[in-house]
């Protein structure tokens, strides 16, 4: 049998708002179909809940503290090959469509440049250049008043900017974090993910079945803000029906101040209607991205490539939608650090004991595990020093030792250790004033009660403190 292809699909800022993950409102029929043919990891954690560092760690198989990419501007400079580079060094054709390493959204997507890409990873690359925030359609920035007039003004400027002109939007808020919603009225090829899927389909057709095996990475930018999606994606959701996260009175009182930086009251200042509109924008963006995943999977089937292609679907990190009044990312709470992960391994790839892939694994896994996993499935020898471990046994249904698995997540100023039972977080530098959080995820999956100061849990807290100091 020919060596297996890899189709590596990544979404941006997608939490587990997938119908297959039990989400009550968001609809993702295509990802649900992929899940039927693959293994869903229900406890997968990113290494850093921010685009650049998370992506660099996935692609290098190294923790951010090792590869030194701990900000969005960070460029990967390592001695070992990246994941696609390993495939490329071993006779694979490798391609990238859209955002795989960091690109600023919407900035780099509007100018069409490659962000902090890693050139040695790829034979072929396609960046996206579309209007994003300024896409024709009904636009609103729920964090501004009178945003419609502001956007009209910007669209005029965009039109007169001249080819290749740099264009920045400045009105006091940062475009990479404003809740901007655009119900677009343009063809799919003028939307970031529609364009990216179209390019990826062209590449799949070129590859066909008679060439070198491929590693094709397709990076969608939704549901990252701005929430730009076609009208049809928005039609599936009504503002009034959007269910806001329940936040009990006094929920934030037991959280250290560093953990509350993304709180609505201090940062986003959205009223309930703005929040409902944001939820609708997020879910519409997820559904649009899901539709693009469907186009890729249908093309794999049409080209008869499915039987020898490993499909991975993952997001770079999660996203808060109002839990604990938090929004967006860069928090160590569950919604920000947990990601959807679906891996579909075709029959042509044999698993230990000739077993078939399990449909679900609840093992705690980390995104640095993807590199050794894909290397192993393609029978390539990974470089020494990778910090993750192969998920092949978990895909084959082996849950042995699952209770001992630990995920290590960091963010500026904080660390999190996650096991199947506990979530432990430390904010602040060692020796300085530190503040801790400890949640019993079996009894309190919504992380409402911080147990770090509970006398009966001091032993557990101590164990985590000492585990972290050794990492």
Residue 38 dihedral angles phi and psi, to the nearest 5°: -140, -165
Provide the strand spans (E) within 58-192: 93-98, 124-126, 137-141, 180-184
Report in angstroms how near the CB of residue 93 gets to Ca ion at its nearest.
Answer: 27
If binding is defined by CB under 5 A, does position 13 make contact with Ca ion? yes
Residues in the chain: 471
435 touches Ca ion by CB under 5 A: no
Name the minimum Å distance from CB 184 to Ca ion: 21
Instruction: Give the residue among 395, 388, 409, 394 at the shortest CA–CA distance from 311.
Output: 395
- Taking CB under 5 A as the binding criterion, the range among 7-15, 191-199, 282-290, 401-409 that sits at the site for Ca ion is 7-15
Distance of CA 395 to the CA centre of its chain: 20
Distance CA 471, CA 467 (A): 7
| Number of alpha carbons in the 13 Å side-chain half-sphere of residue 154 | 21
Measured at CB, which residue is nearest to Ca ion?
51
In our burial notation (b when 16+ CB lie closer than 10 A, e otherwise), range 428-437 reads eeeeeeebbb
Least CB distance to Ca ion at residue 442 (A): 17
Instruction: List all residues 6 or more positions away from 231 whose beta carbon is below 8 Å from its beta carbon.
Output: 137, 183, 184, 185
DSSP code of residue 335: H
Among 5, 12, 103, 270, binds Ca ion (CB under 5 A): 12
Site for Ca ion in 210-269 (CB under 5 A): 251, 254
Of residues 127 and 308, the one with the C-beta less far from Ca ion: 127
Residue 190 binds to Ca ion (criterion: CB under 5 A): no
Looking at the Cβ atoms of 123 and 251, the one nearer to Ca ion is 251
- The backbone region for 283, taken as left when phi is positive above 0, alpha when psi lies in -120 to 50, beta otherwise, is alpha
Site string for Ca ion, 310-339 (x = CB under 5 A): ------x-----------------------
Q: Tell me which residues in 32-61 interact with Ca ion (CB under 5 A).
A: 51
The widest CA-to-CA distance across the chain, in whole angstroms, is: 66
Tell me whether residue 113 or residue 123 sits nearer to Ca ion (CB atom): 113
Element containing residue 29 per DSSP (H, E): helix 29-36
Complex with Ca ion: residue 15 or 419, whichever CB lies closer: 15
Q: Minimal distance in Å, beta carbon 450 to Ca ion?
A: 6
7 binds Ca ion (CB under 5 A): no
Number of residues that bind Ca ion (CB under 5 A): 7
Q: Is 298 in the site for Ca ion (CB under 5 A)?
A: no
Smallest gap, in angstroms, from Cβ of residue 348 to Ca ion? 32
Q: How far is the CB of 449 from Ca ion (least distance, A)?
A: 6
* Residues at the contact surface with Ca ion, assessed by CB under 5 A: 12-13, 51, 251, 254, 316, 448
């Amino acid at each position: 049998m020919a060596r297996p292809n890899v189709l590596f699909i990544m979404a941006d800022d997608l939490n587990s708002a997938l119908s297959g993950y039990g989400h009550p409102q968001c609809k993702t029929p295509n990802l649900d179909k992929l899940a039927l043919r693959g293994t869903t990891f229900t406890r997968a954690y990113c290494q850093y809940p921010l685009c650049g560092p998370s992506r660099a760690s996935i692609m290098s198989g190294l923790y951010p503290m090792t590869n030194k990419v701990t900000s969005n501007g960070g460029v990967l400079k390592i001695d070992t090959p990246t994941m696609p580079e390993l495939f490329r060094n071993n006779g694979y054709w490798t391609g990238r469509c859209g955002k795989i390493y960091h690109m600023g959204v919407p900035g780099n997507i509007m100018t069409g440049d490659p962000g902090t890409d890693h050139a040695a990873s790829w034979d072929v690359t396609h960046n996206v250049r579309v209007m994003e925030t300024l896409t024709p359609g009904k636009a609103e920035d729920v964090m501004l008043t009178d945003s419609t007039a502001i956007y009209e003004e910007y669209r005029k400027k965009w039109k007169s900017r001249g080819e290749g002109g740099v264009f920045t939007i400045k009105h006091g808020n940062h475009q990479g974090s404003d809740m901007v919603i655009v119900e677009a009225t343009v063809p799919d090829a003028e939307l970031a993910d529609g364009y990216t899927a179209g390019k990826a389909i062209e590449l799949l057709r070129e590859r066909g079945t008679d060439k070198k095996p491929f590693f094709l990475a397709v990076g969608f930018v939704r549901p990252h803000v701005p929430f730009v999606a076609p009208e049809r994606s928005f039609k599936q959701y009504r503002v009034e029906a959007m269910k806001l996260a329940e936040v009990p009175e006094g929920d934030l009182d037991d959280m250290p101040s560093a953990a509350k930086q993304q709180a609505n009251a201090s940062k986003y200042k959205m009223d309930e209607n703005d929040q409902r509109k944001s939820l609708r924008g997020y879910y519409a963006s997820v559904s649009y991205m899901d539709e693009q995943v469907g186009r890729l999977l249908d093309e794999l089937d049409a080209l008869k490539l499915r039987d020898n292609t490993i499909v991975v679907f993952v997001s770079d990190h999660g996203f808060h939608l109002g839990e604990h009044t938090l929004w967006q990312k860069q928090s160590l709470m569950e919604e920000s650090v947990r990601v959807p992960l679906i891996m579909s391994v075709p029959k042509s790839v044999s698993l230990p004991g000739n077993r078939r892939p399990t449909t679900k694994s609840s093992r705690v896994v980390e995104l640095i595990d993807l590199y050794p996993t894909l290397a192993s499935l393609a029978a390539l020898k990974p470089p020494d020093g990778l910090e993750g471990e192969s998920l092949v046994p978990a895909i084959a249904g082996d849950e042995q030792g699952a209770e001992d698995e630990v995920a290590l997540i960091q963010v500026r100023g904080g660390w999190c250790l996650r096991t199947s039972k506990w979530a432990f977080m430390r904010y602040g530098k060692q020796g300085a004033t530190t503040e801790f959080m400890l949640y019993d995820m079996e009894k309190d999956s919504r992380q409402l009660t911080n147990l770090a100061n509970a006398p009966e849990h001091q032993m557990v807290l101590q164990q985590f403190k000492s585990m972290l100091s050794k990492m």
